[in-house]
A and B are shown apart, each in its own frame.
Chain A
Amino acid sequence: MNFEDLQKNWQSQPVNALTDTTLLKKDLQSKWQKHQRKLMLTNIFLTLSFIVVFAVVGWVYFAYRSDFGWQFSASIGTMYLLLIIYLMVSWRGYAFKKEYLDVSSTDYINYQLLKLSWQRKTITTWSLVYAVLLWLIIMMYELEVTARGTLMFKATTIAITSAYIFGTTIWSRFTKQKKQLAKLDEMIAELNNINKAFN
């Protein structure tokens, strides 16, 4: 047995693939249109949601700023900061959706590795940043509304809220995010293996 015989046999195998381009194009067109429609609806939904949230938060600030102290303004400012960071992280993630498949495999793999490393960073770093900012927003709001309460009451509300926010963050880190990270690490390792073999 030699390799040339195997090659000959391999090339003579029956090909059960759809080659009618009229039928193919119909399928491809419909798949493309569905993909575009989904993308467009997601974009519209995200843009509208952000506009609404920005507008509502702005309205709340201008309508009630005279009734509250500095904590209120700081809370609103932190909320805007959270929204802007979320928007930037989403945009960066969205930019990774644009893929070029007609480049060499090593270039393609390097791009995929960059994308996966960004997804990893979103889970490990940015989700923690969101949690801290959210905690700050709620803390400042609570300080404002419990201003007239006793020290014990203030401490209890802060403790309960903090325990809830950081508890769910830590719980998610060791359950859902752990699984996501394991999957990402597996993909990164596989791509690194392929890249190593190609170089």
Chain B
Amino acid sequence: MTDLSNKQETLFNQLVKDNHAAIYRICRAYLYDASQADDLYQEILYQAWKSIQAFKGEAKVSTWIYRIAVNTAINFNLKNKRHQHLPMPDFFQPAYEETLPEKQAQEAQLNKLRYCISRLETQDRLIISLVLEDKSYKDIAEITGSNINNVGVKISRIKARLLKLMENSKQYNDEL
């Protein structure tokens, strides 16, 4: 296991190159705390590294890596439950003054989005992280093992809940 074949090593390199951003964003969607998200990112890559020898190409590479990412996230959350906490939302904190106003607005919006995602249920955070990555209903059904007919209904409900949370936090922010 310690020595991957050249083919597997090339596949791993390509996998990291193509999917690192998506994996990182899934971690950030699943865990609000940035340092925990970093730990989860490392764990996902470790699990991918361990599993790559068994990869037979039966599933698409992207489905394969997303399955590892989602399952590792589920496991990580179970093991680290004691350390989970919801800190004060970053969007209540002022942005750095030297940052450009547009950039500040974008960062504030992003922080708000992260916080609102963190208010969703565990399973909804997983699904929305895949939706945010532009995954199709079919892909999401394959990754999670859900029934494709139910996926659409669930996604619509989660999107509506997220938009409502964003609206509510906007009102709260305006009041401050």
Contacts and interface: CB of A to CB of B under 8 A. Distances in A.
A112 B72 CA distance: 12
Task: Give the contact-size bracket for chain A.
Answer: 35 or more
Nearest to A108: B71
Contacts of B54: 100, 102
Interface string A1-23: 11100110111110111110100
Task: Give the contact-size bracket for chain B.
Answer: 35 or more
A70 B81 CA distance: 53
Grouping DSSP codes into helix (H, G, I), strand (E, B) and loop, the B interface class, with mixed when no group exceeds half, is helix
B91 interface: no
Contact of B124 (A10, A17, A29, A197): A197
Given A3-B163, A191-B78, A194-B74, A13 B50 contact: no
B59 interface: yes
Interface of B: 1-2, 9, 12-13, 16-17, 20-21, 23-25, 28-29, 38, 41-42, 45-47, 49-51, 54-55, 59, 64, 67-68, 70-72, 74-75, 77-78, 81, 106, 109-110, 113, 121-124, 126-127, 131-134, 142-147, 150, 154, 159, 162-163, 166-167, 170
Interface of A: 1-3, 6-7, 9-13, 15-19, 21, 24-25, 27-29, 31-33, 36, 100-109, 112, 186-187, 190-191, 193-194, 197-199
